[in-house]
Protein backbone atom coordinates (compact mmCIF):
# COMPACT_ATOMS: atom_id res chain seq x y z
CA UNK A 1 0.00 0.00 0.00
CA UNK A 2 1.27 3.41 -0.86
CA UNK A 3 0.70 6.11 1.75
CA UNK A 4 1.21 9.81 1.16
CA UNK A 5 4.60 10.96 2.49
CA UNK A 6 4.59 11.34 6.30
CA UNK A 7 0.91 10.24 6.42
CA UNK A 8 -0.65 7.31 8.26
CA UNK A 9 -4.04 7.76 6.57
CA UNK A 10 -4.85 4.57 4.70
CA UNK A 11 -5.34 5.29 1.00
CA UNK A 12 -8.89 4.67 -0.19
CA UNK A 13 -7.63 2.50 -3.03
CA UNK A 14 -6.32 -0.05 -0.49
CA UNK A 15 -9.77 -1.01 0.80
CA UNK A 16 -10.58 -3.55 -1.92
CA UNK A 17 -7.26 -5.38 -1.57
CA UNK A 18 -7.58 -5.57 2.21
CA UNK A 19 -11.17 -6.78 1.96
CA UNK A 20 -10.06 -9.54 -0.45
CA UNK A 21 -7.23 -10.52 1.91
CA UNK A 22 -9.67 -10.69 4.82
CA UNK A 23 -11.94 -13.01 2.82
CA UNK A 24 -9.03 -15.33 1.91
CA UNK A 25 -7.68 -15.46 5.48
CA UNK A 26 -9.45 -18.60 6.67
CA UNK A 27 -7.69 -19.58 9.92
CA UNK A 28 -4.41 -17.92 8.97
CA UNK A 29 -2.72 -14.97 10.61
CA UNK A 30 -2.16 -11.78 8.64
CA UNK A 31 1.25 -10.13 8.95
CA UNK A 32 1.07 -6.34 8.62
CA UNK A 33 4.16 -4.17 8.24
CA UNK A 34 4.21 -0.39 8.21
CA UNK A 35 7.24 1.40 6.81
CA UNK A 36 8.40 4.81 7.97
CA UNK A 37 9.84 6.52 4.87
CA UNK A 38 13.35 7.11 6.23
CA UNK A 39 16.48 6.34 4.29
CA UNK A 40 19.06 7.68 6.72
CA UNK A 41 20.77 6.31 9.79
CA UNK A 42 20.16 9.30 12.08
CA UNK A 43 18.77 7.88 15.37
CA UNK A 44 16.16 10.62 15.80
CA UNK A 45 14.92 10.18 12.22
CA UNK A 46 14.84 6.40 12.68
CA UNK A 47 12.77 6.77 15.86
CA UNK A 48 10.24 9.05 14.16
CA UNK A 49 10.09 6.73 11.17
CA UNK A 50 9.35 3.66 13.31
CA UNK A 51 6.52 5.61 14.95
CA UNK A 52 5.08 6.47 11.53
CA UNK A 53 5.50 2.86 10.41
CA UNK A 54 3.57 1.65 13.44
CA UNK A 55 0.76 4.13 12.80
CA UNK A 56 0.55 2.87 9.22
CA UNK A 57 0.46 -0.76 10.39
CA UNK A 58 -2.30 0.14 12.84
CA UNK A 59 -4.30 1.84 10.06
CA UNK A 60 -4.06 -1.33 7.97
CA UNK A 61 -5.04 -3.48 10.97
CA UNK A 62 -8.08 -1.27 11.66
CA UNK A 63 -9.24 -1.72 8.07
CA UNK A 64 -8.83 -5.49 8.39
CA UNK A 65 -10.82 -5.43 11.65
CA UNK A 66 -13.59 -3.52 9.90
CA UNK A 67 -13.63 -6.36 7.34
CA UNK A 68 -14.13 -8.92 10.11
CA UNK A 69 -10.58 -10.03 10.89
CA UNK A 70 -10.18 -10.61 14.66
CA UNK A 71 -7.50 -8.54 16.39
CA UNK A 72 -5.68 -11.69 17.53
CA UNK A 73 -5.33 -12.81 13.89
CA UNK A 74 -3.19 -9.81 12.94
CA UNK A 75 0.54 -9.50 13.68
CA UNK A 76 1.89 -5.93 13.49
CA UNK A 77 5.43 -4.83 12.76
CA UNK A 78 7.02 -1.49 11.90
CA UNK A 79 10.27 -0.65 10.17
CA UNK A 80 11.96 2.70 9.74
CA UNK A 81 13.23 2.03 6.22
CA UNK A 82 10.86 1.54 3.33
CA UNK A 83 7.72 3.15 2.03
CA UNK A 84 4.05 2.49 2.67
CA UNK A 85 2.78 -0.73 4.17
CA UNK A 86 2.02 -4.35 3.41
CA UNK A 87 -0.27 -7.12 4.54
CA UNK A 88 0.07 -10.82 3.73
CA UNK A 89 -1.17 -14.18 4.89
CA UNK A 90 1.16 -16.17 7.11
CA UNK A 91 0.96 -19.84 6.13
What is the mean pLDDT, run by run of 10 residues, along the chain of 91 residues? 95 95 96 93 92 98 97 97 95 81
The sign of the CA dihedral 81, 83, 84, 90 is negative
How high is the pLDDT of residue 86? 97
Nearest Cα residue to 22 out of 78, 61, 58, 79: 61
Q: Which domains are present in the chain?
A: 12-90 (3.30.1330.60)
How high is the pLDDT of residue 33? 98
φ/ψ (deg, to 5) at 51: -60, -45
Nearest Cα residue to 52 out of 33, 72, 75: 33
Amino acid sequence: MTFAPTSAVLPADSAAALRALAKRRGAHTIAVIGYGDTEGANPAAQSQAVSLGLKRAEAIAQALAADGVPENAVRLDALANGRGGSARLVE
